[in-house]
Structure 1
Amino acid sequence: MTQSNHHAAPRRKALRVAAWTAAMAVLLALTGAGYIYVKLNGNIRGVDINGALGTDRPTDFDNGSMDILVLGSDSRSGANKKAGGGDDDGTARSDTAMIVHIYKGHKKATVVSIPRDTLVDRPSCTGAAAAKSVMFNTAYAVGGPACAVKTVESMTGIRMDHYIEVDFTGFEHLVDALGGVKVTTAQDIDDNDSHLHLKAGTHTLTGKQALGLVRTRHGVGDGSDLGRIKLQQAFVKALIDRIDSLGLLTSPTKLFKVADTATGAITTDSDLASVGDLVGLAQSVEGLSSKHVSMVTMPVTYDPADPNRVVPLTAKAQQVWAALRADRAVPKSATTGSAGDQTSTSGVVKSAS
């Protein structure tokens, strides 16, 4: 093996990890030595989830699978105020939440979206008191990443092996560093709230446009958060297609730009907060492609007392969590009849690879 090929393989493996981190966290790492490695390593922000939560967590079954909580935060602080738009109330929330379950063998995955407006019982965590029937995204608001993880673990009975978070600005910069992401819209999208205006057709979205797409809810479908989740899931597919089409290894300058942006865009649990750890994770999922990533929305129904909120369909949700705990595919019966299953943006946005 030549020296060039020796370095190219791990770079390509590291890039592919983005495929299942729900459109927001491309984890690319250069494997060179010296100041490049140090710079990229210094970009990554880590949070000690294990230290914050201690031992009061679900059993970590060693069956070869892996579960990662991926959050997109809607903090309006700093540069995010401009990127996110709206008022800055000083509170950050988990605007997007996905559980990425990577099956044994790491050749396929299921991504379960958790609607941010889901009413849940939040456990006490990191100094925040327990609360009944509150919106899921308040967990991050009151207790940060550790509280979000604990709330997910309490809901699902599944221990999260890792945590990855990306904010508005990081998401925009990441998409721009990739040269945009191509999507096809089958109808016009006009949403002043998310600042997205697209005519029907094929577009290579800039970072700003991509952020508008994954945040829009009034421009398509029924205007609900469930419709927005469907758009986010469609964007994940488009992002996977984009990554698969990139020829970054032929351009060292572009490769470094993407690596620098990607590592600076994310916050991870402390066990992933180094280039070496991210490369190890990437190597473990070599071969995972878009064709083997299933998208599911947690089974919910609209709250009879407030149509702007949803509540879990407990029995069906437990089917989802039981399947993931057992490292099995989520059965179709688990999502049939869910409001998320009935909400469709089919034909609005699709991958245009």
Structure 2
Amino acid sequence: MGGQAETVEPVADGGGGKAPRQRSGDEGRAGARRAAKRGRKGRRRGLKIVAWSVAGLVVVTVGTGGYLYMRYNGNIKSAPLFAGESGDAGHEVPDEFGRTPINVLVIGSDGRDNPEDCEIGGSECGAGANADVQLLLHVSADRSNATVMSIPRDLMTNLPGCVDKEHKTSSKAGRGQINSTLQYGPGCTVAAVHQLTDIPIDHFIKVDFVGVIKMSDAVGGVPVCVSDDVYDPYSHLKLAKGSHTLKGMAALQFVRTRHGFGDGGDLGRASAQHAFLGSMIRQLKSAGTLTDPGKVLSLADAATKALTVDPGLDGITKLVGLADDLNKVPPSRVTFTTMQTEADPRDENRLVAGPDAKKLFTTIKNDQSLSADPNGAATAPSSPPPAAPSSSAPAAPPADATPRKNIAVLVRNGSGAAHRATALADALKSAGFSRETSTGKDTAADRTAVRYPAGKAAEAKQVAAALGVPETAVEAGAGGSIELVIGADWTQGTSYPAGANGAPAAPADPAAALKGADAVTADNDGNCTQVSHEKTVSLPGLGSMTPVQAFARSKDVPVSAP
């Protein structure tokens, strides 16, 4: 696009790293204050879910053997998943059937580190990258639903220290703007998001500006609709009222436009991105897209060239597996939202996590659906058909089960919290288990387990059931008695917490989890994106005006799409 794209430039943040400098001039001020009041969302949503679905489906559909395999594998770039100074990106907890959810951090980079991105404009070529977009994609363990949560780029939070081994740079832990972490590699952004949300992150996918253009071209264009004439001179998007099919630069302009939609802040831009991504998903699932060999080949090439991924996704066969999981989720069960935020008391142009954000994080971490059935209730996870018993999943106790009073348990505290073994031993005795139940030496354990000696599987299952511990945590042990090992996943209370270590979690209340955060599903195609009627833009010599007025007064500027 001609002119400059919206971007930020890094400056010292006082926390040992770098933070982006506030945009100057009309480009940054009008939308920033409104966004600080109501929260902002990431950009370029119509990008990553598509890339995975495309990359996997292409290979499965075409199956042309070694040449394409080598070609597409060669397109993919990779970087370490985690670059924090300590710890890791977290670990998924299996559900009661042994299935695990998938959490993927999608990062949109504003870096100009290749000739194609440099031609787009904006910040100085090769000047480094900030995270333009941070989307956490959660796919449920049973693959029945998905959530895409935006983390605003302007969020101020406590950042971890990071080490970028590739470029031999590092940052110190301290308060800073979360999108600055990309300067130390995508693994640093993963570390920051995990620290903020406590949600395990299994993979990341990073994409640059050119990726948006290539993907929109590869699908044959993305249909969108705008409620009024709109011209945003900052992103250079210019569209007449009505429906359009966006390709190339027009697609990038649409998903990056902030001042043209809603109130001129990131909330309006997020609505546009939701519409774009939902439309692209529908395009991919339409009858003619993935059955056309030419389109399929083009999609695979564009998708793989657009990506930098962690080693867990750095091959076509790995992307195929992820694509297969994603394609199991219907558009009506994909919920787009943003974490709750409020204005940073230190700077009205920056954000901090809102009081309701933790509830949203916990809902996602506990693998609870945010999509609703037609009656408005959260949809419960599906259950697989019963499997034959195995050594790791003991058979159900028979009708003539051993009386509780004859079952003694040795309780060990591995939670790190004080007095847990005594509390659980007392709880078991109160529940009717043997008075010989006792406490043993403290240990260290991430997860709670009930271990049994040979021939005592049924009794161990009774112990687990009495405390609400899932059957997946019942396992064969090496000792001579039934042992309850209390893990770090159970630091308080005498009933095992719902959602932990496979324990069934109660269905989420979407309204409660999404309080203060607007949400939409991917099948929502009934409304046009609302153009701003506030004075969010300005033209040289004409001052501030609405995007509708700017359209009318810029007759010499060509439209982005017919």
Question: Would you call these one fold, judging by a TM-score over 0.5?
Answer: yes
Name segments (4+ residues, structure 1) moved above 4 Å: 22-26, 50-55, 86-89
Counterpart of 1:183 in structure 2 is: 224
Q: What's the CA shift for 1:204?
A: 0.3
**Is 1:137 matched with 2:179?**
yes
Counterpart of 2:72 in structure 1 is: 40
Instruction: Identify which of 269, 272, 277 aligns with 1:231.
Output: 272
Q: What's the CA shift for 1:259?
A: 0.9
Q: 1-side partners of 2:266 and 2:118: how far apart?
A: 21
Preserved CA contact (<8 Å) 1:108 1:288:
yes
Helix, strand or coil: the match of 2:134?
Answer: strand
Q: What's the CA shift for 1:89?
A: 7.0
Deviations 1:8-45 (A, max 9, x none): xxxxxxxxxx9893566554242331211110111111
Preserved CA contact (<8 Å) 1:20 1:293:
no
Q: 1:21 to 1:106 in 2, by over 3 A?
A: farther
Counterpart of 1:71 in structure 2 is: 107
Q: 1-side partners of 2:49 and 2:342: how far apart?
A: 23
Counterpart of 2:127 in structure 1 is: 90
Counterpart of 2:153 in structure 1 is: 116
Q: What's the CA shift for 1:325?
A: 1.3
**Is 1:318 matched with 2:358?**
yes
Q: 2-side partners of 1:281 and 1:347: how far apart?
A: 31
Q: 1:176 to 1:349 in 2, by over 3 A?
A: farther
Helix, strand or coil: the match of 1:348?
Answer: coil
Q: 1-side partners of 2:219 and 2:241: how far apart?
A: 23
Q: 2-side partners of 1:249 and 1:293: how far apart?
A: 20
Q: 2-side partners of 1:130 and 1:151: how far apart?
A: 10
Q: 2-side partners of 1:258 and 1:56: how far apart?
A: 33
Deviations 1:264-320 (A, max 9, x none): 11111111110011111122233212111011110001224433211111x311101
Q: What's the CA shift for 1:326?
A: 1.0
Counterpart of 1:272 in structure 2 is: 313
Q: 1-side partners of 2:119 and 2:263: how far apart?
A: 27
Question: Kindly, what percent of the aligned residue pairs are identical?
Answer: 35
Q: 1:177 to 1:55 in 2, by over 3 A?
A: same
Q: Give the unaligned 5+ runs of structure 2.
A: 1-44, 164-169, 371-509, 520-526, 532-562
Counterpart of 1:162 in structure 2 is: 203
Helix, strand or coil: the match of 1:210?
Answer: helix
Counterpart of 2:368 in structure 1 is: 328
Counterpart of 1:195 in structure 2 is: 236
Preserved CA contact (<8 Å) 1:21 1:100:
no
Preserved CA contact (<8 Å) 1:68 1:163:
yes
Bigger shift: 74-83 or 35-44? 74-83
Helix, strand or coil: the match of 1:219?
Answer: coil
**Structure 2 residue identity aligned to 1:38:** M
Aligned length: 325
Instruction: Give the TM-score of the pair, scaled to structure 2.
Output: 0.54
**Structure 2 residue identity aligned to 1:21:** K
User: Root-mean-square deviation (CA), in Å?
Assistant: 2.4
Q: What's the CA shift for 1:120?
A: 1.2
Helix, strand or coil: the match of 2:225?
Answer: strand
Q: What's the CA shift for 1:94?
A: 1.0
Q: 2-side partners of 1:271 and 1:217: how far apart?
A: 34
Q: What's the CA shift for 1:349?
A: 5.5
Q: What's the CA shift for 1:55?
A: 4.3
> Larger Cα Rg: Structure 1 or Structure 2?
2
Helix, strand or coil: the match of 2:302?
Answer: helix
Q: 1-side partners of 2:279 and 2:196: how far apart?
A: 29
Preserved CA contact (<8 Å) 1:113 1:296:
yes
Preserved CA contact (<8 Å) 1:25 1:166:
no
Q: What's the CA shift for 1:254?
A: 2.4
Q: What's the CA shift for 1:87?
A: 4.3
Instruction: Identify which of 343, 346, 349 aligns with 1:302.
Output: 343
Preserved CA contact (<8 Å) 2:101 2:367:
yes
Counterpart of 1:6 in structure 2 is: none
Q: 2-side partners of 1:311 and 1:102: how far apart?
A: 26
Q: 2-side partners of 1:24 and 1:229: how far apart?
A: 19
Preserved CA contact (<8 Å) 2:47 2:212:
no
Preserved CA contact (<8 Å) 1:157 1:321:
yes
Preserved CA contact (<8 Å) 1:299 1:334:
no
Q: 1:216 to 1:230 in 2, by over 3 A?
A: same
Preserved CA contact (<8 Å) 1:67 1:100:
yes
Q: What's the CA shift for 1:211?
A: 0.8
Q: 2-side partners of 1:300 and 1:223: how far apart?
A: 17
Q: 1:52 to 1:40 in 2, by over 3 A?
A: farther
Instruction: Give the TM-score of the pair, scaled to structure 1.
Output: 0.85
Q: Give the unaligned 5+ runs of structure 1.
A: 1-17
Counterpart of 1:254 in structure 2 is: 295
Q: 2-side partners of 1:311 and 1:117: how far apart?
A: 8
